[in-house]
Amino acid sequence: MTESVDCAIIGGGPAGLNAALVLGRARRSALLFDDNNPRNAVTRHSHGFITRDGVSPAEFRAIGYAEIAKYPSVEARSSRILSVNRQENEGATFGLVAEDGQKFRAGSIILATGLRETLPAVEDIYNYYGRSLFNCPYCDGWELRDKPLVIIAESEQAAFHLPKVIYIWSRDIVVCTNGHPVLSNEQKLFLDRYGIRVIEEKIAALVGSAGQLAAITFENHPDIERSGGFVEIQRKHATALAQDLGCEIDEKGSIVTDDLGRTSIKGAYAAGDIVNIMQNQLVWAAASGSRAAIGMNTDLTAGFFS
């Protein structure tokens, strides 16, 4: 038997959890699907969210699930959704199929499936990521303040822009482009005026212990000592559900939504990092989950009284 609800929320990160909270308080029947494979699993502490500054991702999730458990119309399922399709011949509902083969039907859906990250091709870089190497200065710059930092970036935009952003936290910055000569002589001279060195040689290894960076070795350059830093990441959608549904995607890879989280597919809403692929912060993701839930409830209410 196919289970039916007003709403299916796919993804149990901050966006999905906040959407579930809002819908629960609106007395909407909702299923929250969460495969417990978050992008920020390597993160020790999340920052920049008032009342939750320094919270670990696991603690944040535990608090979120405890709060939505107060609302009986919302149920969380530890399951991965493999496919979603819009069923126009069945009252314009959505059909969902989980990894275990179980099927569900929802009047509307919220996609909060998040992103996956790829780091530069540097040996052992994942051992340091989330411990002493990070991607967001607004999340982790304070903890690295006044330390000798490295920026590992292989694109011109990141190699030139990131050091200017990070300069407020530390004046001891080295940009490593890992064998990619992406900066012009003019850009290197500009950074040099502020004491920011650029090393274009390919990185041979990161040196340190227990995730704490101590030095960087190169193929053809003297070693440098560094205590931490930031890396340029490549982001992509964690699932292809939005693309399979036919949701409009912009040139940066974000799902296009309106001010209430509506996608180009009627009845489908999106929230979290997938609607702002270049700006990933806990507080923004949670806020967009609230926005999408309010948008959905607005439309469901309008449909009831039409």
CB 243 within 8 A of CB 111: no
**pLDDT, position 295:** 97
Residue count of the chain: 306
- List pLDDT tens digits, range 281-299: 889 999 999 999 999 999 9
Instruction: Provide the 3-class DSSP secondary structure of residue 141.
Output: coil
- List pLDDT tens digits, range 172-196: 999 999 999 999 999 999 999 999 9
**Lowest-confidence region among 62-66, 89-93, 169-173, 266-270:** 89-93
**pLDDT, position 305:** 82
Measure CA 38 to chain center.
Answer: 9
pLDDT at 14 over 60: yes
Averaged over 65-72, what is the pLDDT? 96
CATH class of 3-116+236-304: alpha beta
Q: What is the overall mean pLDDT for the chain? A: 93
- List pLDDT tens digits, range 114-134: 999 999 999 999 999 999 999
| Closest by CA position to 111, among listed 4, 258, 13 | 13
pLDDT at 227 over 90: yes
At position 159, the amino acid (one-letter code) is: A
- List pLDDT tens digits, range 230-263: 999 999 999 999 999 999 999 999 999 999 999 9
207 beta partners:
215
Averaged over 96-124, what is the pLDDT? 94
**pLDDT, position 296:** 96
How do the domains of the chain map onto residue ranges? 3-116+236-304, 120-231
pLDDT at 91 over 70: no
**Per residue, what are the HEC states of 44-110?**
CCECCCCCCCCECHHHHHHHHHHHHCCCCCEEEECCCEEEEEEEHHHCCEEEEEECCCCEEEEEEEE
**pLDDT, position 39:** 59
Distance CA 86, CA 237 (A): 20
Pair of tokens at residue 297: 């409830």
pLDDT at 1 over 60: no
**pLDDT, position 136:** 93
Work out whether strand 93-98 and strand 81-87 pair parallel, antiparallel, or are unpaired: antiparallel
| Closest by CA position to 108, among listed 220, 12, 7 | 7
Which DSSP letter does residue 277 get?
T
Residue 57 φ/ψ, nearest 5 degrees: -55, -40
**pLDDT, position 51:** 87
**pLDDT, position 62:** 93
Instruction: Provide the 3-class DSSP secondary structure of residue 6.
Output: strand
Distance CA 268, CA 196 (A): 46
Averaged over 269-290, what is the pLDDT? 91
| Closest by CA position to 163, among listed 149, 146, 143, 181 | 149
**pLDDT, position 258:** 97
The CATH number that domain 120-231 falls under is: 3.50.50.60
Residue 17 φ/ψ, nearest 5 degrees: -65, -40
Torsion sign over Cα 179, 181, 187, 190: positive
Angle at 139 between CA 43 and CA 229, to 5 degrees: 80
Measure CA 156 to chain center.
Answer: 22
Distance CA 136, CA 204 (A): 24
Residue found by looking up tokens 């011949």 in the block: 89
Torsion sign over Cα 212, 236, 158, 183: positive
pTM: 0.92
Whether 3-116+236-304 and 120-231 share one fold: the answer is yes
